[in-house]
Structure 1
Amino acid sequence: MNFKKAILFSLLVAAGTTTFAQTSNLRKAKSSLQKYDELKSAGSAELGRSNLTTAKEAIDQAIAHDKTKDDAETWTVYALVNANVATLDNSEEAATAAADAIKKAKELDADNKHGDNLTIAGQMLGQFSFNQGVGAWDKQDFKTAYKLFGNALTYLPGDTTLTYYSGLAAIQSQDYPSAIEKYKELIPAKEFSAHRSVLVDLPKLYLSTQDTINALEYAAIAVREYPDDNDAVVQNIELNLIVGNEAKVITDIENQIAKDGNNKSLYYYLGIAQSAANNSDKAIEAYKKAIAIDPNYSDANRNAAATIINSVRDELNAVNEDKTLSNADYNTKVDALKEKIKGALPYLEKVVELNPQDSDALRSLKGYYDFQQDEAKSAEIQAKMDALN
C-alpha cells in the first residue's frame, strides 16, 4: 500500500517536471526570440542567428509535447520563430511552417489574445512572399511573381504597393483581366503615388481585352480625376476617335491645343474629327498646322491630300450628275476642280518621298495625274508601281 503510494507520488513528480520543462521551453523560446528581435531591430539580424536557433530548438520541443501542443501561445511563438527563419534564410519550408502555425494558432485562440503577434508573423510572411516575387520578377518569371505578390497580399491586404506590383506582373505576363482587377482596386487610393498612372493605363488594359466600352468609361474617369494631365486627356481623345465619336471630341481637342499648341498629334486628331464632322476646310487647316510643326509627319500629309482629293471627287460627282450643264459650263467647272486638286500634290509627293514603296500613296498620285490628264507623269508613277510588284 505504501509502496503504491510512493510509486504514484513518483509519477506525479515526473509529470510535473515534464510540464515544467515544456513551459520552460516556451519561455526559453520567447526569451531567445526577443533577443533576436532586438539585434534585428538594430540592423544586426545575422548576429542574432544563434538566438534564433535557440528559439527554434526550444519551440520545436514545446510544439511536439502533448501538454503544450494545443496551446495558442505555443503556436503563436512557433509562427513568429519560423517567420523569422524564413526571412533570414530565405526558407520556403520555414515560411510554410509559419503559415500553418498561424492558421493553427487562430483556431486555438478563441479570445484573440495573440492577434497582434499573429499579425506580425503574417506581415513577415507577406514581406517574405514579396521578396520572393521580386526575385521572380528579376528573372522575368512574371507569372510566378504575380502568384507570389498575391500570396503576400493575403497577409498584407490592401497594401497599395503590393497591389500595384501584382498588376504590373499580370501585365508583363499578358494576363490583362487580372491586371484590370488589381488596378481597379487602386482607384479609391487617391493618395497612392502611382494613382495617376493606374488610371491612365487602365483604359489601355481594357483595349487589350477588346473592351472599348470600359476603355472609354475609364478614360473619362481618368480625365475627370486629372483634367490637366496631358496623357489622360489625349488618351480620351484617341479612344473616342477610335470608336467613331470624332465630332464629340472636337471641343476637347481644341481645349487641349490651347494648352499645348506645339503638339502636332493634337492638330492631326483635330483634322480627323473635323473631317468626320464634314468640315473639310477645317480638317485641311488642322492638318496643315500639324505639318507646319513637322513637315515629315507622314500621316498628316496623307490625310491632308486625301481630304482635298475626296472633296474634289464629291464636287466632280455632283458636276457629272448635273444634266443641265452645257459642255462649256461643264468644262469650266472641271478645270476649276483640276486647279483645286493641285493643293493635294505637295502632300502626296511628300508621302511618297518619305516612303517610296507606299503603294497606296503611289496609286493616289497616279490618280491625281490621270485626273490632270498628264499621261507622261501617270506612266512614270505606273512604272514605279510595277517595279514594286
Structure 2
Amino acid sequence: MKKVILSLALVAIATGAFAQKKVVSSAEKNFKKGDLEIALTEIDAALENPETKDNPETPLLKARILTKKFGLDSTNVMSTVETGRSALAQFTKAMEMSGNDKEGKIGKEVYKEEIPDLPENFKPYSMSTLKNETFNKAAVSYENEDMEMAYEFFNLMTEIDPTDTSSAFNTAFIANDLGKFEEAKKQFKKLIEVKEYNKLSSYYLLIQIISAEDKDPEEAYKYVTRARADYPEDKTLSEFEVQLLLQMNKMDEAMASVKAALASDPNNAGLLLRYGYLLEQSGDMDGALVEYKKSVVADPNFFEGNYYTGAIFLEQAKTILGKINDLSDDEWEKNAPTMTKQAEGLYAEAVPYFEKGLSLRPENVEIMEILYNVHVRLKNTAEVEKYNKMLVAKLGADWMEK
C-alpha cells in the first residue's frame, strides 16, 4: 500500500513539473506569435513556481519577451525605458543563474549577435537586440528634439553595455545640456579612465562643469593637470590651466603658466588676454594694453579682447582726468588743456574696440551705454543721438534714470 501511495505521489510531482514546463512552452509559443501580454503572464507564473523558477532559461525567455515588447513600443516614453531596463534585469538574472559563463548555452543565447535587417522571426532577441533597439529609440528621440528621452535611452545603453564609450559620451553630453551635472560628471569620469579612448572632449566638459557649476577651481585644476599629462600639446588645456590659477588667485603660477603656453602658441587670443589680465592685476596697465591689443590682432572677432582693450583706454583716460582735478590753480592753467586733450584722445581710441564688441554682441546694453557716454565726452552729437535711440529702444525713454 505504501508503495502505491509513493508511486502516486511521484506521478503527481512529475505531472506538476510537466505542467509547469508546458506553461514555459506555451509562453515561448505566444512570444513567437507576438501575443506578448499572454506570454508575459505565463512566464511570470513560471518564475513563481519552484519547478521552473530556478532554470536560467525561464528568466532568459522573459528577457526575450520584454525585449520584443520594448522594440515594438513606439511611444518612447519612460515606461518604454522601464521595459528595456526590466529586460536587462532578466538577462542579468539568467547569466547569474548560469554562473556568468558567456561560453555556455545560456551565455551564448544572451550575447548572441544580431545581424542587421533580419526579419522579425529570425531576430535573436538577445542583449544585442536590446542594445540596437535602445540606440534606435535614442536616435529617434534626439532627432525629435526630445532631449530628456534621448538622455534616458542613451543612459540605458550604458547600462546594457558599460564598455560602449559612444553611448557614455552621448549620455554625458546631453545630461550636461539638460543641467544634469552629476550624471554628466559620472559618465565623463568613467570615460577618462578608458585607456585607449580619445578623452580630450570629456576632459574639457568635465573641467567646465566642475569649475563653472560646482565652483570648485581646485578640483577642476586637478583634472586639468591630469589632462595636460595625457595631452601635453593641447592649447585649450593651457588656457584652462591659466584661467583656474587666476580663479585660485595663484598669480605667480598663472604668470609662469601663461608665459610657457605663449612660448609655443604666441598668437593664442585667449592666452594673450589672460596675460594682459595678469599684467593689469600687477599694476602694469601699459603692458596689459599691449597684450590686449595683441589678442585682437590674433583674432579681430574676439569679443573679450576688444572689450578689455577699450576698457584699458577708458581707465587710462579716467586716471588723467583724476589727476587734472588734483592740480593746483597754477598747474591747472598750465597743464589742464594738454591733459584733457590727451584723455579725449584715449576716449577716441577706445571707440573702435567697443564698436567692434557691439557688432559682435548687438544686444549688449552695457556697451551701448559706454559708447553713449564716450561720445557725450567727445561732443559727437550725431553719435550721442544714435546710441540714445538704441538705448531708448532697449530700455525705454527713461533709461538714464534706471
Deviations 1:274-325, CA, capped at 9 Å, x for gaps = 22221111112112323434556565344334323423543554565466xx
Counterpart amino acid of residue 346 in structure 1: E
Distance verdict in 2 for CA 1:274–1:83, change over 3 Å? same
Q: Offset of 1:197 from its aligned partner?
A: 0.6
Distance verdict in 2 for CA 1:380–1:103, change over 3 Å? closer
Q: 2:287 aligns to what SS in structure 1? A: helix
Distance verdict in 2 for CA 1:171–1:152, change over 3 Å? same
Distance verdict in 2 for CA 1:106–1:277, change over 3 Å? same
1:77 to 34, 57, 82: 57
Q: 1:266 aligns to what SS in structure 2? A: helix
Q: Offset of 1:346 from its aligned partner?
A: 3.2
- Which segment drifts farther, 12-21 or 200-209? 12-21
Partner of 2:345: 342
Q: Which runs of 5+ in 1 are unaligned?
A: 34-48, 370-376
Q: Offset of 1:201 from its aligned partner?
A: 0.9
Question: 5 Å matches for 1:70-149?
Answer: 70=53, 72-73=54-55, 76-87=56-67, 90=71, 98=87, 101-102=90-91, 109=97, 113=99, 115-116=101-102, 117=106, 120=110, 123-124=127-128, 127=131, 129-149=134-154
- Which segment drifts farther, 293-302 or 253-262? 293-302
8 A contact 1:83–1:94 mirrored in 2: no
Q: TM-score, normalised by structure 1?
A: 0.66
8 A contact 1:126–1:154 mirrored in 2: no
Question: 5 Å matches for 1:300-315?
Answer: 300-315=305-320
Q: 1:358 aligns to what SS in structure 2? A: helix
Matches of 1:184 and 1:65 in 2, distance apart? Answer: 40
8 A contact 1:348–1:361 mirrored in 2: yes
Q: Offset of 1:181 from its aligned partner?
A: 2.4
Partner of 1:361: 371
Q: Offset of 1:202 from its aligned partner?
A: 1.0
Deviations 1:140-160, CA, capped at 9 Å, x for gaps = 333333334444444444654
Partner of 2:363: none
How many matched pairs? 350
Matches of 1:379 and 1:342 in 2, distance apart? Answer: 17
Partner of 1:228: 233
8 A contact 2:135–2:153 mirrored in 1: yes
Question: 5 Å matches for 1:269-280?
Answer: 269-280=274-285
8 A contact 1:274–1:280 mirrored in 2: yes
Partner of 2:169: 164
* Residue 68, structure 1, aligned to residue 68, structure 2: no
Root mean square deviation, CA, Å: 4.8
8 A contact 2:320–2:343 mirrored in 1: no
Between the aligned residues of both structures, percent identity stands at: 20
8 A contact 1:206–1:215 mirrored in 2: yes
8 A contact 1:153–1:162 mirrored in 2: yes
8 A contact 1:246–1:274 mirrored in 2: no
Q: 1:140 aligns to what SS in structure 2? A: coil
8 A contact 1:62–1:69 mirrored in 2: no
Matches of 2:300 and 2:167 in 1, distance apart? Answer: 46
- Which segment drifts farther, 184-193 or 113-122? 113-122
Q: Offset of 1:217 from its aligned partner?
A: 4.4
Partner of 1:199: 203
Matches of 2:301 and 2:162 in 1, distance apart? Answer: 51
